[in-house]
Amino acid sequence: MIAVLDYGMGNLRSVEKALERVGAEAAVTNDHARVREADGVILPGVGAFPKAMERIRELGLDGLVRERLASGVPTLGICLGLQLLFESSTELGGAEGLGLLEGRVDRLAADGLKLPQIGWNAVTWTLGSPLVEGLPNPCAMYHVHTYAVRSEDVLGTATYGEEFTTAVERGSVYGVQFHPEKSGPHGLRLLSNFTRICAGAYVRAA
């Protein structure tokens, strides 16, 4: 079972439906007991970084995510959820993030292109990873964002005015700037891969 964290900011139903399409049991929840039962965690998100962190802290989800990661449970951040994994963002005057990955979130240097960026980008995978197994390289994925992470834990990059990090991985922490639930068969394959990662982690823990 994969817990999709509900803090009031995200495409919760579309992520849930995409997980169900790849055969996963999905639970949209902010109930701590339910999240502790999960074999994997997804942190979605659409909106502003500071408001999202405010809601996450109000619900105690920051400590809960750290707890689950400490237990080896795979965690995937999607879009804003990816950004929240990092130490800080400069959006709307700045805010601290979850600090699970080193780095910060800055506005895209889009070289005069319209922001937010909305559309498909060719993602180049820079590492081999179970998360992107079976995906072409490059691979088109659907993006909607104005900010991007600055990180050394790069799994994939794309270009919009500048090259930016669009996928990261460190240990059991994964993140993608694009929306796999809106990226057709390739996005579903990535979510299927994450589901298998979660199932494998569960087997090893048992």
Rounded CA separation 73/61 (Å):
15
pLDDT at residue 203 is higher than 60: no
- DSSP at 152: S
Which of 143, 145, 179, 186 is catalytic? The answer is 179
Amino acid at 146: T
Parallel, antiparallel, or unpaired for β 139-145 and 147-150?
unpaired
Rounded CA separation 36/53 (Å):
20
* Annotated catalytic residue 181: yes
* pTM of this structure: 0.94
Q: How far is CA 134 from the centre of its chain?
A: 19
Which of 79, 91, 186, 198 is catalytic? The answer is 79
Rounded CA separation 36/97 (Å):
22
Rounded percentage of the chain residues whose pLDDT exceeds 70: 97
pLDDT at 78: 97
* Annotated catalytic residue 79: yes
* Mean pLDDT value across residues 93-102: 96
Which of 16, 91, 169, 181 is catalytic? The answer is 181
- DSSP at 101: E
- For the ranges 22-36, 66-80, 191-205, which has the lowest average pLDDT? 191-205
* Mean pLDDT value across residues 94-117: 95
Question: Token digits for 120?
Answer: 């498909």
pLDDT at residue 206 is higher than 80: no
